[in-house]
Amino acid sequence: MKYLSMLSIMAILASILVLAGSADAACSSCAKEADWSETASAFLEGKAMSDEPVAFGPKMARAESSQFERRTEDAPDTAENASDPGPASIALQSINAAPAVINSTATSKITVAFNINNSERTNQGEMQLSANAQIKDSTGSEVAKLPLIRQSAGLYSTNWTADVPPGVYNIDIAAFSLDGAASFKDALQIEVLD
């Protein structure tokens, strides 16, 4: 009985060894790398096999076949597609600060009016616009960046508390929409006094 159990254990071990020897661990995406000894050695030594990163995953799939390219290729040539009015432009209608001359630690309200031209949206009230004001000192260094809050169609404002040394401060305006973007350098000046 003892010999029979030893014989069956030896048979099982022999069959496992035979199966393990014929097993192949290669995957379909690794077909060009059937021998892993070179890449395993390089990995253990901390060396790169190639300077180019391996492309895989959803990002690679999007790069190979883009839904956006298919839409433009499949789209029929209609009057809308044939005549492109060009990108929308954001125009700065007006900008002011009330007051424009303030004492240090006082607050000034900055109000900006925008107009978007060549937009698919005919109503300016429908525009989704994001804008900010960048306040810079006389050396050009940024002292504050403030979001402009929508008050009504095309009209945006923010409050700036001048916790800065006396001097003249320039304001740059940047505006972004789904239809375009624009920036207006040195659009306004505010003077801060002692």
Return the domain boundaries, the chain: 89-193
Contacts of residue 168, defined as CB under 8 A and 6 or more positions apart, other chains included, come to 138, 189, 190, 191, 192
pTM of the model: 0.54
pLDDT for residue 41: 83
- Smallest CA-to-CA distance from 190 within 94, 98, 101, 95 is with 101
Q: Please identify which residue in the block is written with the tokens 């403030």.
A: 146
- How far is it, in rounded angstroms, from Cα 110 to Cα 96? 6
Residue ranges, the chain, pLDDT below 70: 22-35, 51-88, 118-127
Residue 98, strand partner residues: 109
pLDDT at 36: 72
Peptide bond into 87 cis (omega under 30): no
Joined together, the tokens standing for residue 10 give: 């030896």
Q: Say how far apart CA 189 and CA 100 lie, in whole Å.
A: 7
Per-residue pLDDT at 64: 60
Tokens 């009015």, residue located: 85
Residue 112 confidence (pLDDT) = 95
State the pLDDT at residue 88. 63
CA–CA distance, 85 with 166 (Å, rounded to integer):
47
C-alpha dihedral, 123 to 126 to 128 to 130, nearest 10°:
70
CA distance 156 to 172: 14
Q: 89-193: which CATH topology?
A: Immunoglobulin-like (2.60.40)
> Residue 99's pLDDT is what?
94
